[in-house]
Amino acid sequence: MAFTVTSMTDQWVLNRINFAGCWQGPGTWFGRDGSDRLDLTTPQRVIDPTTYVIRFSDADHGVWDGSGLAFTPGGQATYAINRQSYNAGGGCWQFEGAGGQSSLRLDAARGRFGHEINLFQGRSRSMLVLLWEPRDGAWWLQAVGAVAFRCRDAADLEPERPTCGTPEALLEPLRGWPGQAESLRPQPGVMARASDPRSVVFEPDQLLRHDCSAVMPDGLVFSAPERLPDSACTLEIGARLAADRFQQVSICFDADGRLLQWDRSSFQPVPLS
């Protein structure tokens, strides 16, 4: 099934472009140890394989089928997806080569504040999941998951990218790379459009802005508050998708914990003359 990205491509079509396929890879999950310390070096679970099969029968209808799921009873789920009901709550977001879903606000009644970020390079898909939960009057980061998906429909499978030792070691070589950034604001349905691209320059300190910063499997890196503040904040997620490509997603919230916008930036080195 072939797609062409145009200025009129809506969120549903971008969802199909990004996610259609049979995605499989190891899911690595981190959490809190027996002393309630967030351990981001030793996984609590590795679910291999984790598999998401996303097929579309026509332009407006499809099926999502998953197994190896960390938070679903029995680890499996299947449900229909369609244009009419897609993104009814406004928390789904798509750019060309990046997409996911986000909690739009803090809500103790829901018991979880979560974000799924997928960064694509060809038919590879690096997925990061961040989950906060309320406890003792505050929201604490409880679980972090990374899945190195590869599309089994592709002729050639890209190998899993190596994990760099520290966030600084991963990001410092990228300092000064030029890039383009786009922004998208939450809007239910499929008609939200990203802003026109603007020029940006990569600065590691801009990404590593929080007390909790870590590298994850498959070239992923993130920086987020372990305890959500009572002020505006931005969650930062990135991935070194190739030797010459770094992609970053910033998820911006106001002081009341309401999601304002997603920013996606894509950086590449200056070509040698």
Q: Give the torsion through C-alpha atoms of 54, 107, 127, 186, to 10 deg.
A: 70
Residue 261 has pLDDT above 60, yes or no: yes
Q: How confident is the model at residue 159 (pLDDT cuts 50, 70, 90)?
A: confident
Each residue of 25-69: pLDDT tens digit? Answer: 999 999 999 999 999 999 999 999 999 999 999 999 999 999 999
**What is the assigned CATH class of domain 11-267?**
mainly beta
Neighbours of 114 (CB within 10 A): 17
The answer to whether 216 and 28 are in contact (CB under 8 A) is: yes
What is the share, in percent, of the chain residues with pLDDT greater than 90? 88
Per domain, the residue ranges of the chain are 11-267
Residue 7 has pLDDT above 80, yes or no: no
Q: How confident is the model at residue 270 (pLDDT cuts 50, 70, 90)?
A: confident
To the question of pTM greater than 0.75 for the whole model, the response is yes
The answer to whether 33 and 160 are in contact (CB under 8 A) is: no
According to the model, what pLDDT value does residue 123 have?
Answer: 93
Q: How far is it between the farthest Cα atoms of the chain?
A: 57
Q: Which residues are registered as beta bridge partners of 126?
A: 119, 148
Each residue of 244-260: pLDDT tens digit? Answer: 999 999 999 999 999 99
What CA–CA distance (Å, rounded) separates 141 from 216?
Answer: 15
